Amino acid sequence: MAFLLIVIYIAFIGLGVPDSLIGSAWPAIHTEINMPVEAVSVLTFIISGCTVLSSMFSAGILNKFGTAKVTAFSTAMTALALLGFSFAPSFWFMIPLAVILGFGAGAIDSGLNNYVALHFKASHMNFLHCFYGVGVSLSPYLMSQALSSAGWRSGYRYAFYVQAAITLLLLVSLPLWKKTVSSEQGEEDESVNLTFLQMAKKSEVRLVWIIMLATNAIEYACGVWGSTYLVTEKGFQTKDGALALTVYYIGMSVGRFVSGLLSGKISTWKRIGIGTAILAPAILIMLLPLPGIISVAGLFLIGLGNGSIYPNMIHLTPHNFGKEVSQSIMGSQIAFAYIGVMLAPPMVSLISGLFGIAVYPVLLAGLYVIMVAALICLVKKLKKQKNYHSDV
């Protein structure tokens, strides 16, 4: 089981690899292919929309073929999409590749989150998402190296090599998963499936959806637009903007890793509270007219504070709502998280198009306020229902 857990961690690196590439490469891409800077939101919207659809409808495929095979096949899909991006002659060629990338990512995320929740301790959920942070930290670094020498297309090829190696590892490890297939199926059979309308009628579920949407919108707004903001407003070179994005994702990885280490000493709700508290000064740094290097520190702190909120909210699902319905609600949480990912870049595009990208930090502040308000309301609601577990 220990080696299988390592394989799952590495697979989550593969989930993170594609997510930060477009943000770090776009300042160079849009110039070469003669597209406006706002066009990146079309690609991210398509990727995220397909991920939402894949997450919502992946249960049947996962039950039929198993988590292992679906994860390996989906990782291969994302690898081929990255290779395709490296050869894309125009923006329009990138659109079908974005579809492939999105459908592959959704199946990986849903499958592995559910698998870890069923078979491993709670601390592993934070470590799992920490390894996602490794993937999204690696991509901007590879892209920054490519931009300083060979160009953005080579950056996509470097990412393809990483993804192809992870695909090969997953294929080789397929026999390891068979040992837990029967127990996995048994646990899934015990769950109660809720329809979307049944979940939507519960105010506490709606509040969780808002939290997941907001925290992931903050994450992706920084991941897609952080580099462009530094290049446009702070005078960074494109390669330095890409490298600064690596610092942001390192912050996210560190936040999740530390949260995992503290899981046995500090309750999940307290870890969420600490992350939320770190976000406040981090976003304030972005709002103030400070030197570019200070803004990079602000991005690091945003990653540090915001990074642990998503996995910890997922971990709380069975405690907040009961184990029998946790599977359905967890799937809906992941879908709304990706809706936040899908909506954030177009929101930044719209606001920056109307008022300039200088107001980009204001959007981050607005999302933060929405998330904190929903968190406060959720805690009050759970306490009223006596479902608030402060010691979890």
Whether this prediction's pTM lies above 0.85 is answered by: no
Q: Residue 222 and residue 226: Cα distance in Å, rounded?
A: 5
Whether 178 is covered by a domain: the verdict is yes
Q: Name, in order, each residue with C-beta under 8 angstroms of 252's C-beta and a sequence gap of 6 or more.
A: 133, 136, 137, 219, 303, 304, 306, 307
Whether 128 is covered by a domain: the verdict is yes
- Say how many C-beta atoms besides its own lie within 10 A of residue 259's C-beta: 28
Say how many domains are in the chain. Answer: 1
Six-digit token pair at 43? 């690609």
Q: Residue 142 and residue 111: Cα distance in Å, rounded?
A: 27
**In the structure, what pLDDT confidence band is assigned to residue 183 with cuts at 50, 70 and 90?**
very low
Biggest CA–CA distance in the chain, Å, is 59
User: What pLDDT is stored for residue 283 in this prediction?
Assistant: 93
* 164 or 319, greater pLDDT: 164
* 302 or 66, greater pLDDT: 302
Query: For residue 186, is pLDDT > 50?
Result: no
The CATH number of the domain holding residue 18 is: 1.20.1250.20
Q: What is the mean pLDDT of residues 210-218?
A: 94
Render the burial of 345-364: b for 16+ CB within 10 Å, e for the rest.
bbbbbebbeeeebeebbebb
Whether 212 is covered by a domain: the verdict is yes
User: What pLDDT is stored for residue 373 in this prediction?
Assistant: 97
Cβ–Cβ under 8 Å, residues 225 and 345: yes
Q: Residue 129 and residue 15: Cα distance in Å, rounded?
A: 10
DSSP category for residue 193: P
Where is mean pLDDT largest: 29-33, 323-327, 328-332, 387-391? 29-33
Whether 389 is covered by a domain: the verdict is no
Q: Residue 379 and residue 387: Cα distance in Å, rounded?
A: 9
Whether 14 is covered by a domain: the verdict is yes
Instruction: Name the H helices within 262-387.
Output: 268-287, 292-306, 309-321, 323-355, 360-384
Six-digit token pair at 93? 């060629």
Query: Rg for the chain (alpha carbons), in Å?
Result: 20
- Tell me the per-residue pLDDT of 58-86, one tens digit each, with 9 for 90 and over: 766 776 787 888 889 999 999 999 999 99
Query: For residue 57, is pLDDT > 60?
Result: yes
In the numeric block, the tokens 């577990």 are attached to 389
Q: Residue 368 and residue 347: Cα distance in Å, rounded?
A: 15
Rounded to a whole number of angstroms, the distance between the first and last alpha carbons of the chain is: 24
Six-digit token pair at 103? 């459908």
Which one, of 18, 30, 22, lies nearest residue 102 by Cα?
A: 18
Query: For residue 115, is pLDDT > 60?
Result: yes
Question: With pLDDT > 70 as the criterion, what percentage of the chain qualifies?
Answer: 94
Query: For residue 188, is pLDDT > 80?
Result: no
User: What pLDDT is stored for residue 190 in this prediction?
Assistant: 56
DSSP category for residue 234: S
Whether 255 is covered by a domain: the verdict is yes
Question: What range does the domain containing 41 cover?
Answer: 2-384
Whether 99 is covered by a domain: the verdict is yes
Which one, of 139, 130, 187, 136, lies nearest residue 311 by Cα?
A: 130
Cβ–Cβ under 8 Å, residues 252 and 307: yes
Whether 390 is covered by a domain: the verdict is no
What is the average pLDDT value for the chain, to the nearest integer?
85
